[in-house]
């Protein structure tokens, strides 16, 4: 919804206005309310591709972040947290 409301706001106020300024000036729900009131139709003929895989193990996603320091033998050691997620089956391994 944010992309659509930003485009509508830019159209209303011109393309020189920055998205952050537009976001603060009028809320997405207000734009939606007026569009429903005016009975504006949305083009649903555009096919949108989903980033999804049908079978397990077709796509694995990995996320890494720096975790807390651990004190081992009196020395601080950096710790890394990693999450492995199978796109199709959902459950992740950490």
75 part of a folded domain? yes
In a domain, 50, yes or no: no
Q: Please check the confidence at residue 15 and state whether its pLDDT lies above 60.
A: no
Asked if the structure places residue 17 within a domain, the reply is: yes
Q: What is the share, in percent, of the chain residues with pLDDT greater than 90?
A: 18
Whether residue 47 is contained in a domain is answered as no
Cα distances from 42 to residues 33, 36, 39, 78, 85, in angstroms, run: 14, 10, 10, 51, 34
pLDDT per residue as tens digits for the range 42-82:
777 777 777 777 788 888 888 999 989 999 999 999 999 99
Query: Which residue range(s) make up the domain with 81?
Result: 60-93
> By the 8 A CB rule, do 80 and 94 touch?
no
- The rounded mean pLDDT for the chain is 75
Its sign, for the CA torsion 73, 75, 76, 82, is negative
**Does the pTM of the predicted model rise above 0.85?**
no
Residue whose token pair is 């004190």 = 71
54 located within any domain: no
Question: Is residue 51 assigned to a domain?
Answer: no
How many structural domains is the chain composed of? 2
| 43 belongs to a structural domain | no
- The answer to whether residue 24 is domain-embedded is yes
């Amino acid at each position: 919804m944010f992309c659509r409301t930003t485009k509508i706001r830019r159209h209303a106020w011109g393309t020189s206005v920055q998205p952050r300024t537009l976001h603060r000036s009028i809320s997405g729900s207000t734009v939606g309310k007026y569009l429903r009131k005016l009975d504006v139709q949305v083009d649903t003929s555009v096919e949108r591709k989903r980033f999804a895989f049908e079978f397990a193990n077709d796509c694995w996603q990995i996320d890494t972040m720096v975790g807390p320091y651990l004190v081992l033998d009196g020395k601080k050691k950096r710790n890394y947290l990693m999450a492995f997620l199978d796109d199709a089956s959902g459950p992740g391994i950490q």
